[in-house]
Amino acid sequence: QQQVKQSPQSLIVQKGGISIINCAYENTAFDYFPWYQQFPGKGPALLIAIRPDVSEKKEGRFTISFNKSAKQFSLHIMDSQPGDSATYFCAASMAMGGATNKLIFGTGTLLAVQP
């Protein structure tokens, strides 16, 4: 019940196209949903995040769509660029009491944007 399921495992998109990555969760205790971008040999970098009381959040070319009733959320990358080629992880945050929380990560999507 603490899992976050992510798809697809890999994605190839042409430059200028739209990349779409989907995630689903079961536990309604999750209250924060970030997306991280990770390049080889580097740590994950926060890309964009959303709370469950919002259905959509946009930052530049990156948009999160959130469907609370379906317990699904997705990342859209508009005008995909070769520099976007990386592994993308969705995550969900669960409170552990007090002022702390932990992140449950999806399995990742390897995105390749072809020039």
Partner 1 sequence: ETGVTQSPTHLIKTRGQQVTLRCSSQSGHNTVSWYQQALGQGPQFIFQYYREEENGRGNFPPRFSGLQFPNYSSELNVNALELDDSALYLCASSLGGGLTQYFGPGTRLTVL
User: Rounded distance, CA 108 to CA 91, Å?
Assistant: 10
CB of 38 to partner 1, least distance (A): 9
Quick one: 84 or 89, whose CB is closer to partner 1?
89
Residue 97 is inside which H or E element, if any? strand 86-97
The pairing of strands 10-14 and 109-114 is parallel
Indicate the DSSP class of residue 32. Answer: B
Q: Does 35 bind partner 1 (CB under 8 A)?
A: no
Interface with partner 1 in residues 57-76 (CB under 8 A):
none
Quick one: 20 or 49, whose CB is closer to partner 1?
49
User: Rounded distance, CA 3 to CA 18, Å?
Assistant: 26
Q: Under rule CB under 8 A, how many of the chain's residues touch partner 1?
A: 28
Q: Which residues bind partner 1 (CB under 8 A)?
A: 6, 31-32, 34, 36, 41-46, 49, 89, 91, 93, 96-108
